[in-house]
Chain A
Amino acid sequence: MLKGIGSSEGYGIGRVLLVKEQSLEFTPKTDCNPGTELERYRKAVDEFCIKTENMAERMKATVGEKEAEIIAGHILMIKDPYMNGEIEKFIEGGQCAESALTAICDMFAMVFSSADDELTKQRATDVNDIKNTVLAILLGAEETDISAAPANTVLVAKDLTPSMTACINKENIAGIITETGGRTSHSAILARAMEIPAVQSVPNATEILSDGDMVIADGSEGIIIPEPTQSQIDEYTEKRVKFIEERKALSAFIGKDTITADGIKVELVGNIGKPDDANKVVECDGEGIGLFRTEFLFMDRSSRPNEEEQFEAYKKAALIMKNKPVIIRTLDVGGDKDIPYLEMKKEENPFLGFRAIRYCLKNKDLYMTQLRALVRASAFGDIRIMVPLVTCVDEIRAVKDMVKAIMDEYSASGIAYNKDLKIGVMIETSASCLIADLLAKEADFFSIGTNDLTQYTMCVDRGNADAAYLYSTYNPAVIRAIKHIIECGKKQGIPVGMCGEAAADKLMIPLLISFGLDEFSVSATSVLSTRKTISDWTKEQADALAEKVLSAVTEHEVVEILKAE
């Protein structure tokens, strides 16, 4: 088994077709006849344009208008008067067409990839793709013919260029494996558009796999299995059939409201860890962001991010979501999340110690920076602030005071922000559950974090194998806690959401409907399945089930009742 990045969900089983890298080597010359070289170059560009136009035409039918437009953009790029002018200038100076093309394309690719902007960076791939295609035409190099691949082919390549992807016949290609790229790379976007499972960034895939080998590409988990056993093939074939059936059933829920069978509307939003992930939520039809974890901004670096950097990240998520709610959780450091430069002390019981809001309120300058960035970013969408690990009213009051002070300052200096910025509490401890009625008077919303709520309610470290049997959301104690929290929120008239794994759990969803949960926040890939499950229940059916569950005495009984439905 080899690990990579799952960039297009699903399971591909088939035989390897290695997409060989064309040799695009050439001997640079500087004493060419400019006249003949110019003619060669212009002929190659003409051929490139015809080829690209045909490809864009084909892609309109296979992958869609938007992707075809990107490919068609390659024609605009190569015909750009400045770029073309520079290349021709080099040729007029005696360089061969290959050298001139390479020099100018490399220059633009470098400028694009060093930009501080994801979209501009992606354009570097386009420039490289143009360069390689035109070079291949100039050198008369032969391409592996992907369009003629037989059924059940798994493509294996160093990198899949947009022009290669355009030749794919999606009926025959079962999967894609590449050595480079990730979820946002161009080939990944195309793979998802064509619903072909893809695993990318698998090191040395082109060396480990050879033509004709059997291979499984698991795009959901991001792994590949070279030369699988018969039982593995059977297992994955079953998974594949199930996956395709489910996808078909779920596609009916795209663009629909999230409503129960008897018409009660709830909100269905996504959990993210990076601003770019918001695109995935949009793609999966999420109605907003219910949890944006901000730790990533602080991790894998040697010093804390400044206000500007944080502001850009929050603003980006807000802009992607276009005025839909974006709930951003402030720094949840400590526990199992260590950030070396914050120099947090080793603790005997880190989960009960100096973490999250406790740490932030003691390190005010760090927290102020984050809150300042959040308040500024609130001018660009419906950003809401969520405070983690609250255990007493003082904590949420302290945060509200800090935000108020920032707003006063911004008003005085004319900096824009949302005056109606909502501040909510993440309910994930026994303490906050027991005083949920008091917190509801201070907070604009609740969000139940079921992972930590289960851990703190059951008093169990889920990492401890001997105690982990207690770590279950189906324990009567946890179910009562959830019910109590939702009731307290409803009494005070504030919305209550849930951002833990339970919100996407088929077994839990009817209970949450019965208790009156307003917002379900799930991983992007669970959006449609959650919408479907919600649509299966009426309030009355959910209430009847909840009544049975609430009379159950043990975790085992709860699970039995839920599974029987």
Chain B
Amino acid sequence: MVSKEVTLVNAQGFHMRPAGSFAAAMGKYKSDVTIKFNGSEVNGKSLMNIIAACIKCGSTVEIICSGEDENEALKEAVSMIENGFGE
């Protein structure tokens, strides 16, 4: 299992488009991807759960990946968030 803390920098936070592209990107990996936010754990492959978590700009989240390709998954997850989902 690997994990890293990142802060959301895009103005809209984890919304429709960012959450959609994030979930789709994570869906390619075999590892489980979890977003830890405000004490609760969110399935990082589920757009609906990410939206429901209501993670706004400026929030810090922990990304936890666990599985055979965990390092690659974490690397892509962190870079997507740090780059503000290309916004």
Contacts and interface: CB of A to CB of B under 8 A. Distances in A.
B47 interface: yes
Given A76-B24, A116-B54, A117-B54, A83 B16 contact: no
Contacts of B13: 119
A123 B51 contact: yes
Interface in A64-116: 69-70, 73, 76-77, 80-83, 108, 111-112, 115-116
B56 A117 contact: yes
Contact of B16 (A73, A111, A117, A319): A73
A264 B20 CA distance: 46
A81 B49 CA distance: 10
A80 B46 contact: yes
B46 A81 contact: yes
A135 to B, nearest CB: 18
A411 interface: no
A33 interface: no
A73 B23 contact: no
B9 interface: no
A111 B12 CA distance: 19
A514 B64 CA distance: 63
Contacts, number: 51
Contacts of A123: 16, 51
A438 B6 CA distance: 50
Contact of B48 (A80, A117, A319): A80
A147 interface: no
A120 interface: yes
A120 B49 CA distance: 11
Given A119-B12, A123-B16, A81 B45 contact: yes
- Majority SS of interface residues in chain A? helix
Interface residues of A, number: 20
Contacts of B24: 76
A83 B23 contact: no
Interface string A349-369: 000000000000000000000
B51 A120 contact: yes
A73 B17 CA distance: 7
A80 to B, nearest CB: 5
Given A70-B16, A319-B11, A80 B47 contact: yes
A465 B49 CA distance: 58
A82 B12 contact: no
Contact of A77 (B11, B17, B48): B48
A82 B51 contact: no
Contacts of A111: 52
Nearest to B12: A119
A400 B20 CA distance: 47
B54 A69 contact: no
Interface of A: 69-70, 73, 76-77, 80-83, 108, 111-112, 115-117, 119-120, 123, 319, 322
5 contacts: A77-B48, A82-B45, A112-B52, A117-B56, A319-B57
Given A76-B24, A111-B52, 16 more contacts: A70-B16, A73-B20, A76-B23, A80-B49, A81-B45, A82-B43, A82-B49, A83-B46, A83-B48, A108-B48, A108-B52, A112-B51, A119-B15, A120-B15, A123-B51, A322-B11
